[in-house]
């Protein structure tokens, strides 16, 4: 049986640390995989996170537009960390909305029953539509040439 990875989370070895201002110390930022660090890296977590919503299709559209606008603004300011964080919020909008589309209440595991996986296909159709909106913007961010160039340079220089 597969258990959720967060059960084995080790904050000591996690690359992203709370208490660091990643705008003042961007050299400490690492791209990582997927959404890693998205709920830790300040001030971006607060700047972008306040716009992150996916409850309805209309809310998801507004959220995506604002987060993508921030993504482009960070790129224009040559603030790769901000752009990458905005991209991560777009990705997280997709993955979280999909989870709510797949599982009632967004819960994938039954904590009371040894983290047994819950039944899939019990979620909300509205969240599937919201996920599709986030997916489109997430992919637009990932394929943005300016972002791809900055990401490649960042990874080769800093990791």
Q: How far apart are CA 136 and CA 115, in angstroms?
A: 32
pLDDT of residue 90: 98
Quick one: which H or E segment has residue 27?
none
Q: How far apart are CA 123 and CA 90, in angstroms?
A: 20
pLDDT of residue 113: 83
- Residue 116 pLDDT exceeds 90: no
Q: How far apart are CA 11 and CA 16, in angstroms?
A: 9
Contact of 38 with 89, CB cutoff 8 Å: yes
pLDDT in tens, 3-62: 777 777 777 877 888 999 999 999 999 998 889 999 999 999 999 999 999 999 999 999
Hey, is 116 helix, strand or coil? Answer: strand
Q: How far apart are CA 31 and CA 154, in angstroms?
A: 8
- Residue 74 pLDDT exceeds 90: yes
Cα angle 73-75-81, degrees, rounded to a multiple of 5:
105
pLDDT of residue 73: 98
Give residues with Cβ within 8 angstroms of 7, minimum separation 6. 115
State the DSSP code for 149: H
Higher-confidence residue of 135 and 14: namely 135
Q: Is 78 exposed, middle or buried (0-12, 13-18, 19+ CB in 10 A)?
A: exposed
Higher-confidence residue of 110 and 53: namely 53
- Residue 1 pLDDT exceeds 60: no
pLDDT of residue 154: 93
pLDDT in tens, 78-104: 999 999 999 999 999 999 999 989 988
Region of poorest pLDDT, from 71-75, 94-98, 113-117, 148-152? 113-117
Contact of 64 with 48, CB cutoff 8 Å: no
């Amino acid at each position: 049986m597969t258990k959720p990875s967060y059960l084995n989370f080790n904050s000591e070895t996690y690359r992203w640390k709370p208490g660091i201002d990643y705008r003042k110390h961007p050299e400490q930022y690492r791209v990582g995989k997927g959404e890693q660090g998205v709920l830790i890296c300040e001030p971006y977590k607060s700047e972008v996170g306040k716009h992150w919503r996916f409850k309805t299709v209309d809310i998801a559209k507004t959220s995506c537009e604002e987060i993508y606008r921030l993504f482009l603004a960070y790129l224009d300011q040559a603030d790769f960390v901000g752009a990458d964080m905005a991209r991560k919020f777009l990705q997280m909008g997709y993955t979280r909305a999909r989870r709510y589309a797949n599982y009632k209440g967004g819960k994938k595991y039954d904590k009371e029953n040894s983290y047994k996986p819950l039944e899939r296909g019990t979620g909300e159709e509205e969240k599937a539509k919201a996920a599709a909106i986030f997916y489109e913007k997430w992919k637009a961010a990932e394929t943005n040439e300016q972002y791809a160039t900055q990401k490649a340079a960042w990874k080769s220089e800093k990791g």
